[in-house]
Structure 1
Amino acid sequence: MTISGTTAAEIAGSVRDQVSSGELAPRAVLPPVRTLAAELGVNRNTVALAYRRLVEAGVAETRGRGGTVIAAVPQLAREGVGAGGASTDLASGNPDPELLPDILAVVRRGRYRRPLYGVPAVDPGLAEWASADFAEDIEQPFRTLVAHGAVDATERLLNAHLARGDLVAIEDPCFLASIGTLRLNGYRSVPVRVDGAGMRPDALRAALEDGARAVVCTPRAHNPTGASLTEERAADLRAILAGHPQVLVIEDDHFSAVSARPYHRITPPTTARWALVRSLSKFLGPDLRLALLAADPETTARLEARLSAGTTWVSHLLQHISRELLLDPAVHELHERARETYTHRSGLLVGQLHAQGIEVPHRPDGLNVWVELDVDGRSVADALGQRGWAVRPGHVFVPDGSAHRGAVRVTTSTITEPQAEAFAAELTSVVADLRAAGA
């Protein structure tokens, strides 16, 4: 490589030109700061600033003693990865299709009129429903918007207030898409440990003291652990956040309509920038790609600039379908059945695990059960796969990908009683074999 320039801007531009032309490939190591400064006859601080600008732009990344390297497209784990062949799928994280309403049945229901450019970005009927729903839980002034799913909403919220390199406090373990969102947008994550009552206050306090500028929290049915905030824990987190009013607080209440736990708010009145996001994917269908969000007026205004009717609004047809489903009494009954069914099915597995001597310390809510083990989770997942059971190893849900987790996530949304009994026995056998082998 031949890097040129005498200013930080020129040096960074030279590197970017070579990346664009393909002369510098992903993972190529840039010269040490001292070496390049000597070659170019400039101060070391000039090269250091150029490298910092490359990192901030997402062109390069620092690897400590490994130096500064050209960034590659991150290889991210994703949700929805399930079993292949004849394996029993307890890995996908998906809802039970039988507990989702028939979307096509409502397409022609109601008064859908084909909109053109310039109409309001949010369907008035859906906005009215959402505002009433959010008003039950939010006492602060807010406005509502519609985004292309919870991941899109979270990404837009972070991008509206943060810059590349900013620290974001996220749960540990955490939702796969949150890890991907932070990495793809150049944010740094600060892991906040989670127990059966949700985010741990001491861990959140430490993350904020480390300089986190945003917090992303799942108030109930946490994926992957199934934990939900208790009223006491939410109060503790609110008290901590009250001392950091400048921090953006995002609550991802993805399981709202079918959760077996009440919503407890962590956003204190002193927080200036906040949002409560409620995806419709888990109870109306993932393919709707739609989430409702309530946020403070300034945040809403920033999001509206990119979700306006003239550019990237969410399809009014999808909004129409969602509104009709949310207003349908039959769908409400389906949600009640889904809530009871998911609770029953996760309980089946927890009960069978307890019978085998494997403890799950809290009763999970949602689609998954998190099983902590004293052996390597990857080895457990591999061994179970060979026996015809697909689960996800715990390490993929950890913000720090190098960290080890002796855990597996088991999706229970469609599990039957015979499957729960057979799986618990197989898991017990696998763990015993790995213990004997010293794994």
Structure 2
Amino acid sequence: MSVIQGRTAAEVVDSVRTLIRQGELDVGAVLPPIRALAADLGVNRNTVATAYAQLAAAGVVEARGRAGTTVLGLPSVQGEGAAPSSAAVVNLASGNPDPLLLPDWSNALTGYRPVLYGTEPVEDRLRSWAESTMVTTWPEPSTSTSAPAPTSAPAPVTSPVPPRPDAGRLSVTGGAVDAVERLLAAHLVRGDAVAVEDPGFFLSVGTLAAGGYRPCSVDVDAEGMVVDSLAKALAAGARAVICTSRAHNPTGASLTAARAAALRDLLAAHPDVLVIDDDHFSQIATTAHHPVIPATARRWALVRSVSKFLGPDLRVAVLHADTGTVERIQHRLGRPTWVSHLLQHTTSALLTAPDHEAVCARARDLYGQRRDHLTAALAERGVEVFPATDGLNLWIPLRTTEAVVVDGLARRGWAVRAGSAFSARPHPAPALRVTTATLTPEHAVAFAADLHTLDTLPTPQRNRP
């Protein structure tokens, strides 16, 4: 075995990852025992124990008791758009929007002029759009969390919002996942804990693993991220929080005003925690945006990408963040590197097109109808689903194992995603994520019948996320 090096836990982690990347540590290789490696390196055994724990949290190795610590390999981040193995299979696994509900790009390049080094990083029209839709999105007045407010009533006002000392700045990244990755890298180091919804967007889970961060799972219910669960993650040392404010992927949950206010009140007591509000569905959401960033936050970012309503090929996300964070991100982007102004120009043209609101309204209505069709078809079969309020997906808890249902559905002509892909927990409750973006009413009825047939094992109570 190649020699692992390092005097600190971070150096040991880097050494192991490098050896794996270079092919000198194969999948299945067993790392030296903690005590033996500590003696070889001349460091305290706690240093090696911490390094192994960080590698395990990142999914690089697995502790197998007496069998030792085994190499799993460097984690890969699987993207959306999973393709079924056969053209005959109906793809309900992709996570993609309906291409027929995306805007026409044919005139989007009109007026584009090539830009040169030194150009401002944010295109002028895109900046204007962001200033009108993002910079004015500030936290609402704080509320008391002594008792939960009714979800149907507005949160009671107890005190005015103090002025934010930093009005923030705008920046552009290559999509929401790129934004999250850069935000975490700007403030965190490998091994830091990040509070993330569980189940949650699997690319966020994958980003944490690839970056070597430690996920702290936070429960999600019908009103979004659960306050008590986030409090436990913060008490466990989470240095960042990633919260999807609406159309949560995979469950379809959206924050209510009362829940968002309670989350802000909790986060207000942790001003140094990085708070990321991922509002990926903004332009076609049926639910209102209730921000989670408290006025006291020193490190924060609101991220809005355009993939779901303009097209996944537009790798553009606009973020509004505190000044220090934007400076760090732009420094990491380096000069003369920037997000392509050709993409920014196309994005701006589509956002400001005369028919933009009508295109979004049509998509908003049809996505809701398709989600409702499947929910109703499943209800007729007695299949419960997570109560989604927005988005392109349904989350369906299962009675039996995921493999049985996923494989059985594939044989019947349906491609779906297993729920375990959306969890950082070692043994998540079995579930499916089903993308309803292109689902027809006829397909909804047929899918519900097949799922009901396959998911028949009895259980005392259906699992919920």
| Length-normalised TM-score, structure 2 | 0.85
Aligned to 2:169: 143
Q: Give the direction of change, closer, same or farther, for the CA distance of 1:90–1:2 in structure 2 (3 Å limit).
A: closer
Task: Measure how far apart 1:50 and its partner are.
Answer: 5.7
Q: Give the direction of change, closer, same or farther, for the CA distance of 1:314–1:2 in structure 2 (3 Å limit).
A: closer
Q: Give the direction of change, closer, same or farther, for the CA distance of 1:299–1:427 in structure 2 (3 Å limit).
A: same
Q: Give the direction of change, closer, same or farther, for the CA distance of 1:107–1:429 in structure 2 (3 Å limit).
A: same
Q: Give the direction of change, closer, same or farther, for the CA distance of 1:256–1:32 in structure 2 (3 Å limit).
A: same
The more displaced of 366-375 and 220-229 is 366-375
The more displaced of 422-431 and 241-250 is 422-431
SS in 1 for 2:245: coil
**Are 1:291 and 2:321 an aligned pair?**
no
| Contiguous gaps of at least 5 residues in structure 1 | none
| Contiguous gaps of at least 5 residues in structure 2 | 140-163, 460-465
Q: Give the direction of change, closer, same or farther, for the CA distance of 1:435–1:115 in structure 2 (3 Å limit).
A: same
Could you give the per-residue CA deviations for residues 246-284 of structure 1, whole angstroms, max 9, x where no partner exists? 110001100000011000011111111000000000000
Of all paired residues, the percent bearing the same amino acid is 47
**Are 1:245 and 2:271 an aligned pair?**
yes
Q: Give the direction of change, closer, same or farther, for the CA distance of 1:227–1:2 in structure 2 (3 Å limit).
A: closer
Aligned counterparts of 2:327 and 2:392: Cα–Cα separation in 1 = 34
In 2, are the aligned partners of 1:82 and 1:90 still within 8 Å (CA)?
A: no
In 2, are the aligned partners of 1:372 and 1:408 still within 8 Å (CA)?
A: yes
Q: Give the direction of change, closer, same or farther, for the CA distance of 1:18–1:125 in structure 2 (3 Å limit).
A: closer
Q: Give the direction of change, closer, same or farther, for the CA distance of 1:387–1:372 in structure 2 (3 Å limit).
A: same
In 1, are the aligned partners of 2:370 and 2:436 still within 8 Å (CA)?
A: yes
| Residue 438 of structure 2, aligned match among 404, 409, 414 | 414
SS in 1 for 2:390: coil
SS in 2 for 1:105: coil
Aligned counterparts of 1:251 and 1:122: Cα–Cα separation in 2 = 20
**Are 1:205 and 2:207 an aligned pair?**
no
Q: Give the direction of change, closer, same or farther, for the CA distance of 1:307–1:191 in structure 2 (3 Å limit).
A: same
Aligned counterparts of 2:255 and 2:213: Cα–Cα separation in 1 = 26
In 1, are the aligned partners of 2:77 and 2:207 still within 8 Å (CA)?
A: no
Task: Measure how far apart 1:78 and its partner are.
Answer: 3.0
Task: Measure how far apart 1:73 and its partner are.
Answer: 1.9
Aligned counterparts of 1:107 and 1:5: Cα–Cα separation in 2 = 52
In 1, are the aligned partners of 2:17 and 2:74 still within 8 Å (CA)?
A: no
Task: Measure how far apart 1:244 and its partner are.
Answer: 0.9
Task: Measure how far apart 1:305 and its partner are.
Answer: 1.1
Aligned counterparts of 1:315 and 1:134: Cα–Cα separation in 2 = 21
Letter in 1 for 2:31: L
Aligned to 2:361: 336
Aligned counterparts of 1:7 and 1:369: Cα–Cα separation in 2 = 48
In 2, are the aligned partners of 1:51 and 1:68 still within 8 Å (CA)?
A: no
Aligned counterparts of 2:260 and 2:19: Cα–Cα separation in 1 = 50
Matches within 5 A, 1:236-275: 236-275=262-301
Aligned counterparts of 2:204 and 2:73: Cα–Cα separation in 1 = 19
Could you give the per-residue CA deviations for residues 346-404 of structure 1, whole angstroms, max 9, x where no partner exists? 0111111111111235243110011122222232111111111111111111112x313
Aligned counterparts of 2:6 and 2:307: Cα–Cα separation in 1 = 52
Aligned counterparts of 1:254 and 1:15: Cα–Cα separation in 2 = 35
Could you give the per-residue CA deviations for residues 59-118 of structure 1, whole angstroms, max 9, x where no partner exists? 97563736455562214443211423201111111000001112233112xx32211111
**Are 1:381 and 2:429 an aligned pair?**
no
SS in 2 for 1:98: helix
In 2, are the aligned partners of 1:91 and 1:392 still within 8 Å (CA)?
A: yes
**Are 1:161 and 2:187 an aligned pair?**
yes
**Are 1:225 and 2:227 an aligned pair?**
no
Aligned counterparts of 2:5 and 2:376: Cα–Cα separation in 1 = 66
Over aligned residue pairs, what C-alpha RMSD do you find?
2.7
| Residue 102 of structure 1, aligned match among 96, 101, 104 | 104
Letter in 2 for 1:312: T
In 1, are the aligned partners of 2:60 and 2:75 still within 8 Å (CA)?
A: no
In 2, are the aligned partners of 1:16 and 1:59 still within 8 Å (CA)?
A: no
In 1, are the aligned partners of 2:59 and 2:74 still within 8 Å (CA)?
A: no
Aligned to 2:31: 30
Could you give the per-residue CA deviations for residues 411-432 of structure 1, whole angstroms, max 9, x where no partner exists? 1101111111111111111123
Aligned counterparts of 1:325 and 1:64: Cα–Cα separation in 2 = 53
In 2, are the aligned partners of 1:373 and 1:406 still within 8 Å (CA)?
A: yes
Task: Measure how far apart 1:120 and its partner are.
Answer: 0.9
Letter in 2 for 1:232: A
Give the structure with the larger helix fraction.
Answer: 1
Aligned length: 427
SS in 2 for 1:214: strand
Aligned counterparts of 2:6 and 2:385: Cα–Cα separation in 1 = 60
| Residue 371 of structure 2, aligned match among 340, 343, 346 | 346
Task: Measure how far apart 1:225 and its partner are.
Answer: 0.4
In 2, are the aligned partners of 1:377 and 1:405 still within 8 Å (CA)?
A: no
| Residue 339 of structure 2, aligned match among 300, 314, 321 | 314
| Length-normalised TM-score, structure 1 | 0.90
Could you give the per-residue CA deviations for residues 10-46 of structure 1, whole angstroms, max 9, x where no partner exists? x9598788667654434432221333455x4x7561x
In 2, are the aligned partners of 1:342 and 1:412 still within 8 Å (CA)?
A: yes
SS in 1 for 2:237: coil
Letter in 2 for 1:143: R
